[in-house]
Amino acid sequence: MNDDAGPGPGTDGGWEVVVIGAGPAGYAAAIRAAQLGMRTACIDKSLDREGNPTLGGTCLNWGCIPSKALLDVSHKYAEAAGHFGELGIGVGDLSIDVPGMMARKDAVVTRLTGGVGALFQGNGVTALAGSGRLLGNRRVEFTPHDGEATVLEAEHVILAPGSVPIDIDQAPLVPGTVVDSTGALEFDAVPGRLGVIGAGAIGLELGSVWSRLGSEAVILEALDEFLPMADQRIARDALRAFKRQGLDIRLGCRVMRAEPSGDGVTVTYQDASDEHVVEFDRLIVAVGRRPYTEGLLAPDSGVNLDERGFLYVNDLCATDAPEVYAVGDVVRGPMLAHKGAEEGVMVAERIAGHKPLVNYDCVPNVIYTHPEIAWVGRTEQSLKADGENYRTGTFSFGANGRALAANDAEGIVKIVADAETDRVLGVHVFGPQASELIAQAVIAMEFDASAEDLGLTMFAHPTLAEAVHEAALGVGGRAIHMVNRKRA
Ligand code: FAD
Ligand code: AMP
């Protein structure tokens, strides 16, 4: 982190914007504020493994990026181990060098966290390494890692302290053995028997990494339903696919106890019928994340929390304290890097007098399993529950030329549209590169496209995106590459 970056406080000794937290929400806010000509400082207290200040928050250091680095490597490994033969490619003895894989992951992280430092410097954001605490009247106490606290005067404050993994009393962490998501990105070897508590995005992704590399992975999920927030047809297909891949996903199983035993851990869980005991070498606790507000607010800060412990904000991310905003995981809404980044940019622009809004109806969700799961907008089950009239169009990657050519043809695209207006209400993808395909759905929905609009758009052939085109055509019973349920 560069403590010398930026112009420094003005001659009046104050800052126009002080941001607390340099994760995707905070750093995006700081960069945009500086781009708009405001004297901006961004405080962050994260330290890397060597004890050096690091920017980028959870996302770059312990979240999105390192997890994707391991997912991409483990996917290549699983392809080589399981599917290269189908392509006529012979591989000799396959092996995985876990320290090598980790070193590469760390190099990707270092490159990107260094990139945030370079962006701060290039845009004139002053990075301050240490803790920030909001006092009253837009004053921020800054305590450097190795120095005395000072008070910064700010015209506007943006709070972006993020979130941390939830711990549960039933499974206290034991370094190297019972770990949270951060520990699961640091294993020094492939665990023989791996337990995961929680079948959310993080549990599925981390379970997939180690299962692809050879762990016998069991995922214990308290709910009876798999991925209740996703389209339920897709959730069913995905559950089947993941089980086939070797992930032993057990639903309706609530973990009661996890106790160290020898080098491993003994887990007791309860399902509908009985109590069960399983032994694992390593256990990942992935039961969700909570907003992180420890030490953030002085008693007279004027900022309030909501009943779930998030910083309370309105639709424009304003807290109850004048000119104090909060963005990212620490406020309501999905805990996703891009959601926080959009909020950060919106707040910076509003401070500068612009009037953007975040469209919370168009936040894409992705689970980076294989196949990936991605969606935006409403699910069929939520529309049905609300008694709304809708039509659906579905297309299978099994009939998509590019997916078949790539030997990657599992999954579907499903589009849900309003029955009267044909406006696209939701797009759901389970399939290859779903994370990339969903972007076009987000654009379509941002522009209020109808399914017909998407159907009238020309898509390059052969591409995976043609499955989106065909699903859109299917809403009106006009798909070409499948037999429509109804004629149009
Ligand atoms: P954070 O990234 O948590 O950053 C907050 C920063 O503020 C931290 O550096 C923290 O140290 C600092 N801070 C906190 N309090 C203070 C203080 N008082 N003083 C100074 N500094 C402070 N999201 C996605 O969108 N896509 C994904 O694929 C994805 N994968 C994930 C995988 C894993 C394993 C995990 C754990 C998370 C993943 N997420 C993903 C979620 C994503 O990481 C978060 O949504 C995102 O990082 C939140 O951004 P943020 O800026 O709000 O907070
Ligand atoms: P998410 O919040 O999407 O990251 O997912 C976390 C998952 O962990 C949720 O689906 C919870 O139901 C699940 N979970 C929470 N506590 C337990 C527990 N004690 N045993 C099993 N699953 C749990």
256, containing H or E segment: strand 254-261
Q: CA-CA distance, 127 to 22, in Å (whole number)?
A: 9
CA distance 186 to 180: 10
Q: Of how many residues is the chain composed?
A: 488
Task: Report whether pLDDT(388) > 60.
Answer: yes
Provide mean pLDDT across the span 140-160.
97
Average pLDDT value for the chain: 96
The confidence score (pLDDT) of residue 488 equals 58
Q: Pick from 363, 389, 385: which is nearest to 374 by CA?
A: 363
Does residue 7 carry a pLDDT above 60? no
Tell me the CATH number for domain 178-287: 3.50.50.60
Q: What is the mean pLDDT of residues 429-458?
A: 98
Domain limits, CATH 3.30.390.30, in the chain? 362-475
**Is ligand 1 within 6 A of the CB of residue 474?**
no
Q: What is the CA radius of gyration of the chain?
A: 24
In terms of Cα–Cα distance, which of 321, 358, 319 is closest to 340? 358
Which pair of tokens denotes residue 83?
């599917």
Closest by CA position to 14, among listed 151, 119, 146: 151
Backbone angles phi, psi at 383, to 5 degrees: -65, -40
Q: What is the DSSP string of 75-93?
A: HHHHHHHHTGGGGT----S
Nearest bound ligand to CA 334? 1
Give the helix ranges, DSSP H, for 146-200: 181-184
pLDDT of residue 1: 43
Taking residues 147-165, what's their average pLDDT?
97
Give the C-alpha separation, 68 to 108, whole Å: 10
To test the pocket of ligand 2, the residue of 287, 335, 373 to mutate (highest count of ligand atoms within 8 Å of its CB) is 287
How far apart CA 104 and CA 66 sit, in angstroms, is: 10
For residues 45 and 13, the model is more confident at 45
Tally of CB atoms within 10 A around 399 = 16
Superfamily of domain 15-165+290-358: FAD/NAD(P)-binding domain (3.50.50.60)
* pLDDT interval class at 485 (50, 70, 90): confident
Residues 320-331 have a mean pLDDT of 98
**Which H or E run contains 17?**
strand 14-20
CATH architecture of 362-475: 2-Layer Sandwich (3.30)
pLDDT value for 10: 47
Closest ligand 1 atom to Cα of 328: 52
DSSP H helices in 304-396: 337-351, 380-385
Query: Mean pLDDT over residues 79-94, rounded?
Result: 95
Helical residues (DSSP H) of 320-400, grouped into ranges: 337-351, 380-385
Phi–psi pair at 372, nearest 5 degrees: -75, 155
The predicted pLDDT at position 4 comes to 42
Please give the single-letter amino acid code of residue 405. Answer: A
Tens-digit pLDDT profile for residues 256-302: 999 999 999 999 999 999 999 999 999 999 999 999 999 999 999 99
Does the beta carbon of 65 sit less than 6 angstroms from any atom of ligand 1?
no
CATH 3.50.50.60 in the chain is located at: 15-165+290-358, 178-287
Phi, psi of 464 (to 5 degrees): -65, -30
Cis peptide before 371 (omega within 30 of 0): yes
Q: How confident is the model at residue 376 (pLDDT cuts 50, 70, 90)?
A: very high
Q: pLDDT grade, residue 450 (50/70/90)?
A: very high
* Ligand 2 surroundings by CB, under 6 angstroms: 168, 170, 197-202, 220-223, 254-255, 287-288
**Known active-site residue 461:** yes
Q: Look at residue 12 in the predicted model and tell me its pLDDT.
A: 46
